Chains A and B, each alone.
Chain A
């Protein structure tokens, strides 16, 4: 009885266009052209946007791709990824302040800590699937939030960590414009890592588990271990984003661990398109830009807008932006070939 509910890949799952398939069928020149266009936009971004917003977009892009790795390619909806984003933000901040390492090393320390935290949380959470997985991850993230709130001697509680330095071998990165180009290689490496994971044999097994866990198990794949590995990798990538976010803002507050942050990461992915990887990047750009614009124009109840986007996307636009475009393009290619 419960089995019909508890398998996320049951027949009721809407035919989300697997990004894997559509991208694989798109002609090679188109894929390279898209990649080139994406890189061009990435290099141009801080010239067209307020650089601090561009930095935020990069961090959230990593966060979204990390969540999509689980939601889109493993069939697990983590509603508690703020735990990894936020833990890494705090560890990065603490390492940068107290040890004085260059910021990439501090971010790496943060992301590794996040991955380490993902081991026990993931171990417990993958025992459940579907909606329960979402509730369990949400609860554990809240636990991390409470710990950070109580552990004031380390996290400074409500005041937050102030003055996180942007140290990089004496370079002056205080201008967000230059800082953007300093973190761009790290972000691209993170995105490349996610792309490699999805297109590796390991990633194929994950998709197999998403679509039919029972069959994957019957074929001899240790399903729990695969899910846990994906969870830890995802925690690491989310941690990369969170660490960069901390250095970018030179400040870490409890908000990085709050459940609204976890929820925002999921909506960014759904808006961009579940299981499309690059859709998450697009969703991050849109949501971050929109929130910046709203707060700039003095709109205080942002939840009204993000909540509204949530409701509209889930009701009318479940494929997300990238997913819809990919589906249209796919249909067009298919009709031409006939």
Chain B
């Protein structure tokens, strides 16, 4: 029982990363119809930025947690204005290709400067040690990640559903023409929303720095799993993306714990789930049915 709870908890923690990344992807997709391949690269930049800030400028974790998402969000907004903006009227595949190219460039720029080896990042002292929950105890830092990620997801949900900004963003997502007809400047929100999504990826990266190996390739394999997550959840649905993120984290952790004698299955369980979802509900668990094509 203790083992099961431990696996479940670890699954939720890795699910938190999937959820934060999938949330950013879904928000960007909703507003711009762009699937941002570079999302994993921005996650990597978040972690690397935190590492560089600490090792070269002595900036602590807590400051990095604020600086990196804002900085990367601004970088994202600049990239949106410079490149992505030019292609949003075309087939979304072109922006997928563009952001793929950006991924290769960002990865190699970091590689060029810092090499491919992993860099250690110490857990902030306030969050070291573990929390005792009676029958089992968990590393404090992981408890913090889970709580923080859930708080961020709830916060984004609150902003989207309960504030005027959120309503404008949702309306422009669902019916851009109609929203424009009501006199709302839809275009004004595109760049900030893109920056916000990138900021979420950077935030996930900073959170990952003390827990996972910081290296230039850390985001690349992750983003493909996140793509599977959003296919499972349905990219059009923000709630679906977050739920699928946590769900896949759980399934993966359980798979690794209880199917460890079949490493091929436990390593690929995300993709197996995706195959089943495609068979059963091609539009994703929370996605709307597409027009038949």
B92 touches A130 (CB 8 A): yes
Docked complex Cα distance between A174 and B35 (Å): 46
B90 touches A6 (CB 8 A): no
B107 touches A303 (CB 8 A): yes
A126 to chain B, nearest CB (A): 9
A312 to chain B, nearest CB (A): 8
Q: From DSSP, what is the main secondary structure of chain A's interface residues?
A: helix
Q: Specify which of A132, A150, A270, A307 lies most central, judged by the most chain B CB atoms within 10 Å of its CB.
A: A132
B96 to chain A, nearest CB (A): 6
A167 to chain B, nearest CB (A): 31
A5 touches B92 (CB 8 A): yes
A303 touches B93 (CB 8 A): no
Q: From DSSP, what is the main secondary structure of chain B's interface residues?
A: helix
A139 touches B93 (CB 8 A): no
Residues from chain A with Cβ under 8 Å of B105 in the complex: 303-304, 307-308, 311
Query: In the complex where A139-B274, A213-B293, A306-B104 touch, is A314 in contact with B87 (Cβ < 8 A)?
Result: yes
The residues in A between 164 and 204 inclusive whose CB is less than 8 angstroms from any CB of B are none
A138 touches B227 (CB 8 A): yes
Query: In the complex where A135-B35, A314-B97 touch, is A304 in contact with B290 (Cβ < 8 A)?
Result: no
A118 to chain B, nearest CB (A): 14
**0/1 interface trace, chain B 106-122, chain A, CB 8 Å (1 if under):** 01110110000000000
A310 touches B104 (CB 8 A): yes
Asked whether B19 is an interface residue with its Cβ less than 8 Å from the other chain, the reply is: no
Residues from chain B with Cβ under 8 Å of A140 in the complex: 271, 275
Q: Across the interface, name the chain A residue whose C-beta is closest to B92.
A: A131
Docked complex Cα distance between A142 and B244 (Å): 19
Query: In the complex where A303-B107, A310-B101 touch, is A131 in contact with B290 (Cβ < 8 A)?
Result: no
B90 touches A12 (CB 8 A): yes
Residues from chain A with Cβ under 8 Å of B242 in the complex: none
Residues from chain A with Cβ under 8 Å of B112 in the complex: 301, 304
A interface list, Cβ under 8 A from B: 1-3, 5-8, 10, 12-14, 77, 79, 124-125, 127-132, 134-136, 138-140, 142-143, 146-147, 149-151, 213-214, 217, 223, 259-260, 263, 266-267, 270, 301-304, 306-311, 314-315, 318
Apart from A1-B288, A304-B109: 10 A-B pairs, beta carbons within 8 A: A2-B290, A3-B291, A129-B293, A131-B35, A134-B35, A134-B96, A136-B231, A149-B267, A223-B293, A301-B112
B interface list, Cβ under 8 A from A: 33, 35, 83, 86-87, 89-94, 96-98, 100-105, 107-109, 111-112, 174-175, 220-221, 224-225, 227-228, 230-231, 235-236, 263-264, 267-268, 270-272, 274-275, 278-279, 282-283, 287-288, 290-293
Sample of 8 A–B contacts (CB below 8 Å): A2-B291, A79-B96, A128-B278, A131-B92, A138-B224, A138-B227, A263-B100, A315-B83
